[in-house]
Chain A
Amino acid sequence: RKEVEQDPGPFNVPEGATVAFNCTYSNSASQSFFWYRQDCRKEPKLLMSVYSSGNEDGRFTAQLNRASQYISLLIRDSKLSDSATYLCVVKGGNQFYFGTGTSLTVIP
């Protein structure tokens, strides 16, 4: 079983829409959770860290549900510039485990 699992999508949404991605993790002892953004053929960049039940940064909200072992990312009022792949990352011990990513395309 993979450490981190994500729905690969693709998600195609119109500008202004709200979209949510979910991610599940297998290690119940994991303490740190992250969302990274990766643009096509470029390096991943940290979008948000999630240490408690949730975190909000502008149009982006990340939530953590430890009981069900999943993390979600909500994007409100989608912009064309939000088009990217979103990577769910879970830290276990000294290692960071990456999901395969969810592809988002925001359509004009």
Chain B
Amino acid sequence: DAGITQSPRYKITETGRQVTLMCHQTWSHSYMFWYRQDLGHGLRLIYYSAAADITDKGEVPDGYVVSRSKTENFPLTLESATRSQTSVYFCASSESIFRGDEKLFFGSGTQLSVL
């Protein structure tokens, strides 16, 4: 039971480069989310998706792009990385967002450093 996996686990890149963080889940959950976690801010939602080909912005979407061509994959792309995007990124999935079924399952996270 692989669950939800993120790759890479660690990434170092330079300012201006494009970076893609991968997220894959094996449960066929409808909902997927990308969060970033920074000291003093907690987890903040970047983008989320309710199903394949349906995505929507969260609190902090600027500088990020997502796609969801298949239910199981939800990659996050930083089009031109900036130092302020240095963070720990968590992908999460949920079978539903309706009352009683709202459990989020998180991947192990990607620690991204932009130099």
Contacts and interface: CB of A to CB of B under 8 A. Distances in A.
Contacts of A44: 43, 90, 104, 106
Contacts of A31: 99
Interface stretch (A14-22, A72-80, A98-106): A98-106
Nearest to B94: A96
Given A32-B102, A46-B103, A49-B102, A96 B90 contact: no
A100 B48 contact: no
Contact of B42 (A32, A51, A87): A87
B33 A96 contact: yes
Interface in B51-88: 56, 58-59
Secondary structure at the B interface, as helix, strand, loop or mixed, is loop
B108 interface: yes
Interface in A31-59: 31-32, 34, 36, 41-46, 49, 51
A35 to B, nearest CB: 12
A42 B108 contact: yes
A28 interface: no
B109 A43 contact: yes
A66 to B, nearest CB: 15
Nearest to B107: A43
Given A44-B106, A95-B48, 15 more contacts: A43-B90, A45-B106, A46-B104, A51-B100, A87-B42, A87-B43, A94-B50, A95-B58, A96-B33, A96-B102, A98-B44, A99-B42, A100-B41, A100-B42, A101-B42
